[in-house]
Structure 1
Amino acid sequence: MTKDLEKMSREELESLKKDIDKALASLEIRRRSEARAAAEKAARDHGFSLEEVLKGEKKGSKSPPKYRNPDDPRKTWTGRGRQPAWIKDALASGKSLEDFLI
């Protein structure tokens, strides 16, 4: 799929950018899943579950994220503590927390 970017309108370019951001987020999720599967296999090969291996290294338990920024999937929030700026901005613009649930 090749497109002549110079001939595209701003709306088409913005749409393409949004599609690319979603594809990159999806790729990161797939790669993380593949890495986890490889880590689980390595732990099994040594006679442990991944949870057993990780449990021995955790100092405290951290809550898993409940909310993800759709514009930057690397930014997450557990729903505890101070709200990050991206959540505050979204709520001020009329969005709800449910829009960001993982």
Structure 2
Amino acid sequence: MELSNLNFTELQDLLKSVDAEISRRETEEKANAKKQILELAKSYGLSLDDVMSKATAAVRKPVEAKYKNPNDVSQTWTGRGRKPAWVQAQLDEGFSLEDLAI
């Protein structure tokens, strides 16, 4: 088919036909993919719920604080990650981490 030989109306009709065919084939492809996925899951003894369920993440309990600010006991630090400004200030004043330990 030579597109340059089609008039404007014929091109628009062709575009509508192409869009409809793309939509039909997309639906068909998705249905086939879904069928293949279900067959694969069944071959491994899995149900759809098994496949679609989110993996349960291990629940971590919060890490206990190891250090506290002697000037403000509400400020604590677990010893993980970047040192808070109050820890660095205490270290700069000559304190050690052992001095700040809870």
Task: Give the TM-score taking structure 2 as reference length.
Answer: 0.49
Task: Give the TM-score taking structure 1 as reference length.
Answer: 0.49
Rg comparison, structure with higher value = 2
